[in-house]
Structure 1
Amino acid sequence: MGVTRTFPHLDHQRGLATSLQLRDAGWSGDAIRHAEGRTIQRVYPGVFAPHRGPMGPDDRLVAAHLWAGDGAVLTGRVALDRYGLPVSPLGNCLFLVPCTRRARRQADVATRRTARPVQVARHWEGLPVTTVAWALCDAAVLQGLTGEALRSTTIAALQRRLTHPRLLHDELAQRSTRGLRTVRAALQEFTEGAWSVPEAVLAELVRAAADLPPYLLNPVLTMPDGQVIGCPDGYFASAGVAVQVHSRQHHSGYDDEGRDLWSATVEKDATYVEHGIVVVPVTPSSIARRPEEVLERIRTVVRQNLGRDLSRIHVRQREIGA
């Protein structure tokens, strides 16, 4: 009668086990080889699942970490995806390992050596994940995250406070400029007030128009008694004109209290109007496809409202990262 062996169930491993863990549970090398392809499957060299069925992305991520070994820390695209950032992980896992280990690659997972102490910002099911700043730079330099995708991911990470401008600046200071020009530019755009790529693009258009007055990004507008009116995407203080970039993608759904986000956005525009502020709504698609038309509409509204007395409305620039 054959010996019945139990596949070990270990915390934070989603039912997976390494060959060493199987041996610790009483499996011999022959037993592992005999079971492979019959009752268990090899996910990566030395990493096994207790079944022969399909593996989901979460299971494969844990398997990849087991293959990478103790001390490996997730970085790059998959790390950004685990933070909820809008970047395609491409299914490629990248792990940082100490310089005493060798760099390896197996199918869709790789390890990269670093002499720097790796910062672990969070754990996902026991799997260590590095900081957003580090993962963002690795995704750009090592995994082909470029162009508008890199720009929007950088600004989104900052706007959602997944990282801080100072932390990203410090990470960039540790690296060469290769592959990171877009990250540096997006950081600069954010520190100047842009909270999204459409806002940054619009700011470039407006500030390039010599006939328009100063344009502030995301200022806080208040009444003399300190009552907050709102924080428009853009504001011409000399004309009392607010520019709002309205996107169904970012203003759809409901908040934690069950309020319709799109309705709340429209109602916020009405609050500006109640205080004498003229609102010019624009959309990301209009900015991208018809920039000159958008700029001319803004120019017309600003000209019509220059010189109005809005001294009762106080304007304060937001502190970066606040």
Structure 2
Amino acid sequence: MTQNTPLSPCHFPTTGPRQRVLSAAQLKAMGVGPARAAEQCRAGGPWQQPLPGVFVLHPGPLDGRERLRSALLYAGRPPASGRRPAPSRAADPAYGEAMLTGLAALSLYGFAAAPPASAVDRVDVLVPRARRLRSAGYARLLRTGELPRPERLDGLPVAPVARALADAVAGLGDALAVRRLLTEAVRGGHCEPAAVVGELNRAKVLGRPQVVNAVDCLLAEGRAVAEERLYDMVRTYGLKEPLWNVDLRLPGGPHLGGVDAYWPDEAVAVKLDTRAPRHSRLDQGRRQEEHEAEWSAYADRREHLERLGVTVVHLSPKKLRDAREQQATVVRTALMASADREPAAYVVILPR
């Protein structure tokens, strides 16, 4: 065969366009050995090999999904010993325990602030810490001692949103880009602020200048979203309209604290738990002290109100998102039970 002799096509069964990216192991199972696969990738050939051990069965540019699948196939290929690790519930036959994270994962979740998969410079893939494979080409391997349980998007294993966000933020230096991603995560209902801050703390990026203000905006956004859910719950389930965002005081006495909703006739208050998560930029000792002091002050105010005959209903943003009808029932029950209680002490209600 001369250099000008065209390559003979390599025929084998496929199941459509999603089979255009295959690993060497998958090709071998179809009867195409390494030598034959390499021949198809020669200059002018019908295939290409964008990553070691991964073949794309066309010569043109890879689309977004092909880039993601090829990175997963590379990261999840069997170790050089040929022995795969013990199977786990998260393992995939083609990708092993590998899963997409970072900007590539966020693009699959539909984040407008993340570039499309075809434009992501580096495809981040989470792999077990013991994995010895190195990053190659556009596939960057991130090792972790504890793999999260992946989601399944477009047939690909993807890290949970909060984890993908933290891995994306760890690689970004642009404060505006970080802020947009974190804000969209909460505003779009992808995850709760506490989960995001917890993952940012695990990634040790909370102290970075580009993250500091973004986290403050994240918590403020989380507060606004939780209030919107509370308004919607009251109106959707036909609860009596309360006084919104008020401060309670004893006449001529101390401040009893602010509440998010208050029904004066029934002496029922709703308080949203939107306190900043325990994780913070402070050192561990100060973080623990501030968390305990904040919780103690909150508990004291709640106990004081209940001694005065005010029923305090504690709601979390996550419960308002995932179990809104159940939370409406809790509030309705508290309102109905007011008729069987002793009258509450008189309190002064002020706008907050």
Give, as a single letter, the amino acid of the residue that structure 2 aligns with 1:19: A
Residues 190 and 126 (structure 1), Cα distance of their counterparts in 2 relative to 1, 3 Å cut: same
Change (3 A) 1:27 1:150: same
Which amino acid is 1:162 matched to?
A: H
CA distance in 2, matches of 1:130, 1:19: 25
Against the structure 1 CA distance between its residues 20 and 10, is the aligned structure 2 distance closer, same or farther, given a 3 Å change threshold? farther
RMSD after superposition: 3.5
Q: Is the 8 A contact 2:24 2:55 kept in 1?
A: yes
Structure-2 change in CA distance of 1:84 and 1:318 (3 Å): farther
How many residues in Structure 1 have an aligned counterpart in Structure 2? 216
Identity of aligned residues (%): 25
**1:80 corresponds to which of 100, 106, 114:** 106
- Superposed CA offset, 1:133-174 (max 9, x none): 111111111x21631222222122112221123322432343
Q: Which of residues 124, 134, 152 in structure 2 aligns to 1:94?
A: 124
Q: What stretches of structure 1 move > 4 A for 4+ residues in a row? A: 2-5, 10-13, 216-219, 235-238, 316-319
The change in CA–CA distance for 1:23 and 1:11 in structure 2 (over 3 A counts) is same
The residue aligned with 2:194 is: 166
CA deviation map 1:76-119 (0-9, x unaligned):
01111111112233512100100110252222221111112323
Q: Is the 1:8–1:21 contact (alpha carbons within 8 Å) kept by the matching residues of 2? A: no
Question: Larger radius of gyration, structure 1 or 2?
Answer: 2
- The aligned counterpart of 2:136 is 106
Q: Is the 8 A contact 1:39 1:52 kept in 2?
A: yes
SS in structure 2 at match of 1:52:
coil
2:157 pairs with 1:157: no
Q: Deviations over 1:236-295 (max 9, x none)?
A: 989xxxxxxxxxxxxxxxxxxxxxxxxxxxxxxxxxxxxxxxxxxxxxxxxxxxxxxxxx
The answer on 1:128 being equivalent to 2:150 is no
- Show the counterpart of 1:188: 219
Displacement of 1:129: 0.5
Amino acid across the alignment from 1:28: G
* TM-fit CA distance, 1:182: 4.1
Unaligned runs of 5+ in 1: 196-215, 230-234, 239-315
Distance change (3 Å), C-alpha of 1:73 and 1:178: farther
Aligned counterpart, 1:313 = none
* Aligned equivalent of 2:23: 18
Answering whether residue 75 of structure 2 is matched by residue 68 of structure 1, we say: yes
Aligned-partner Cα distance in 2 for 1:134–1:73: 11
**In the alignment, what sits opposite 2:317?**
320
Spell out the pairing of 1:246-285 with structure 2 (5 A cutoff): none
The Cα shift of 1:75 comes to 0.5
Question: Structure 2: which amino acid aligns with 1:320?
Answer: P
SS in 2 for 1:107: coil
Q: Does structure 2 conserve the Cα–Cα contact (< 8 Å) formed by 1:40 and 1:48? A: yes
Whole-Å Cα distance in 1 between the matches of residues 17 and 240 of structure 2? 48
Aligned match of 1:139: 168
TM-score w.r.t. structure 1 length? Answer: 0.57
Matching residue's letter, 1:86: A
Counterpart of 2:231 in structure 1 is 220
Q: Following superposition of structure 1 onto structure 2, how do residues 48-63 of structure 1 map, counting pairs within 5 Å? A: 48-63=55-70
Shift of 1:175: 3.5
> Matched residue of 1:55: which SS?
coil
Show structure 2 runs of 5+ residues with no match: 1-6, 77-95, 248-312, 321-352
